[in-house]
Amino acid sequence: MKKLLLLALLSASTLLASGIKVSDAYVRATPPGLPNSAAFMSVSNKTSEDIAIIKASSSVAKVIELHTHDMKDGVMKMYQVPKIVIPKNGQTTLQPGGFHIMLIGLHHPLKKGETATFTLTFDNGETQTITAPIKTVMGGMKHHNMDHSKMNHNMKHN
């Protein structure tokens, strides 16, 4: 009976896990000396409830935060957010100029052709570990024309 119950719980867990799919993930490559980078991806939610990314973790950097950008008074500002919502039966794209996973205080430069591993934690208790390729900046931003000259990079990090 205990084995049957355990099997049922594992099967239910597998069905729940299959409702969230991460695709097209990549991490921005950095030149030596640049202390920060970001991870981008598409996250699909095939469940009947909104689900949110509430945390990200990785061994590649000292601090990992959820971030977004907004235009305020003609200046693009980047800031930390408590969660990134993936709507029920929908998708949220983490991309340059929008939501992204910020990697702060890199332990070493991230080189094109290598990979970086990070784990996403969702508000339903699920976690997913992703190993993403590291790509050059232009490879990740080729479709986005964003002026970085006025961006506020004065962020506080503990």
CA 67 distance to own-chain centroid: 9
The domain that holds 63 is classified in CATH as 2.60.40.1890
Q: What is the pTM of this model?
A: 0.76
Span 25-29, average pLDDT: 97
Number of domains making up the chain: 1
| Residue 5 is assigned to a structural domain of this protein | no
How do residues 31-88 score in pLDDT, each as one tens digit? 888 999 999 999 999 999 999 999 999 999 999 999 999 888 889 899 999 999 999 9
Res 13: pLDDT: 40
Look up tokens 């991870």; give the residue.
39
Residue positions counted in the chain: 158
| Residue 12 is assigned to a structural domain of this protein | no
Res 156: pLDDT: 46
Q: What letter represents residue 18's amino acid?
A: S
| Residue 96 is assigned to a structural domain of this protein | yes
| Residue 95 is assigned to a structural domain of this protein | yes
**Percentage of the chain lying above the pLDDT 70 cut:** 75
